[in-house]
């Protein structure tokens, strides 16, 4: 990886006020709190109200960032919103955020790598700044999965929630955040996790055209616990740092049992692993920034810590980043 000149300088987050607990779900589908916690580790999730969308959640996350770190975004020259649930097919969420923030001169794009979206977004931001094309970038990971969740399907409705997180990434030649990365995609297995749009066929087969998330949970689980530990090692290969010397591991918060298996296979202590799923569920591209912000608020993340972030999900796309935390 070429030498970075990009630094993460601020973080913010937002989750909707409405809570749905496991006990609430008992009223909707045949399930119970014990079954959900045992299999997923999730206790509750936040759900956007009917007129609250990804752009609203993204905007609130940026506002939180600005207030906590006393940051101005007037001179942001790129907005990257990582999401699979945009308000519209067009315009992009990023363009909506540009308007909401009143930024006059900025680029704006959405990036869809599903649950790997936020790590992909940070990777792109680092590349743009290090190449000299941009100087100050907002990277937002936000999703409203409740709007594409079938609340009659107990295998998926217990998993998903809504939320968002935002990072400000700026040019800094002296104290860059980004150390190493590894990205990949296994599109051959794309039908293991999908939500239909214009096309209703995949791999030559008709899809379940419900407009909701469809997931082969067993197969996605097997893919993740095999792929992520190998990816973690690939991130570390280009550095002089050993995996055991990483301070904190921050994986996509899909399922606690999955995270435990990944930690076991990679021989990384679960005690040094951050996740946000217990209170928020699987929020797709928002899980990693929510986990990081939770770690910051609880004092678990300190300046100088080496953090290994790893996103994985639909695509089947995955992306890992080793970063130096200097806020």
Q: Please say whether the beta carbons of 5 and 137 come within 8 A.
A: no
State phi, psi for 37 to the nearest 5 degrees. Answer: -65, -40
Kindly name the residue from 126, 282, 318, 324 that is annotated as catalytic.
282
23 is catalytic: no
- Name the catalytic one among 252, 255, 263, 324: 252
Residue 282 annotated among the catalytic residues of the structure: yes
User: Over the Cα atoms of the chain, what is R_g?
Assistant: 19
DSSP 201-270: EETTEE---SSS-EE-HHHHHHHHHHHHHHHHHHHHHTSS--GGG-SEEEE--S-HHHHHHHHHHHT--G
Q: Which candidate in 22, 64, 82, 115 is catalytic? A: 115
Residue 188 CA, distance from chain mean position: 22
Spatial separation of the C-alpha atoms in residues 134 and 280, rounded to whole Å: 33
Are 273 and 249 contacting, i.e. CB atoms less than 8 angstroms apart?
yes
Do the strands 136-144 and 78-82 form a parallel or antiparallel pair, or are they unpaired?
parallel
115 is catalytic: yes
* Residues designated as active site: 115, 252, 282
């Amino acid at each position: 990886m070429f030498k970075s000149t990009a630094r993460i300088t601020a973080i913010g987050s937002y989750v909707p006020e409405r809570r749905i607990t496991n006990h609430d779900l008992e009223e909707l589908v045949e399930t119970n709190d014990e079954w959900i916690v045992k299999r997923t580790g999730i206790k509750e999730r936040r759900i956007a109200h009917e007129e609250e969308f990804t752009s609203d959640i993204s905007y609130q996350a940026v506002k939180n960032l600005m207030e906590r770190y006393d940051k101005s975004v007037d001179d942001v020259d790129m907005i990257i919103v990582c999401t699979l649930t945009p308000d519209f097919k067009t315009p992009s969420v990023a363009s909506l955020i540009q308007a909401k923030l009143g930024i006059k001169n900025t680029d704006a794009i959405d990036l869809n790598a599903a649950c790997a979206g936020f790590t992909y977004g940070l990777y792109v931001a680092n590349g743009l700044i290090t190449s000299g094309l941009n100087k100050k970038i907002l990277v937002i990971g936000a999703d409203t999965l409740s709007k594409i969740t079938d609340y009659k399907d107990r295998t998926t409705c217990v998993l998903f929630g809504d939320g968002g997180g935002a990072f400000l990434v700026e040019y800094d030649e002296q104290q860059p955040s980004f150390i190493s990365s590894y990205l990949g995609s296994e599109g051959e297995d794309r039908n293991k996790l999908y939500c239909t749009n214009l096309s209703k066929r995949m791999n030559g087969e008709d899809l379940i055209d419900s407009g909701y998330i469809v997931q082969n949970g067993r197969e996605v689980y097997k893919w993740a616990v095999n792929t992520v530990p190998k990816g973690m090692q690939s991130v570390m290969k280009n550095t002089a740092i050993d995996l055991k010397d990483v301070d904190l591991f921050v994986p996509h918060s899909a399922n606690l049992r999955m995270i435990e298996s990944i930690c076991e296979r990679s021989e990384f202590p679960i005690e040094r692993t951050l996740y946000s799923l217990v209170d928020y569920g699987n929020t797709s591209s928002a899980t990693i920034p929510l986990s990081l912000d939770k770690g910051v608020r609880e004092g678990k993340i300190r300046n100088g810590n080496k953090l290994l972030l790893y996103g994985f999900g639909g695509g089947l796309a995955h992306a890992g980043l080793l970063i130096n935390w200097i806020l």
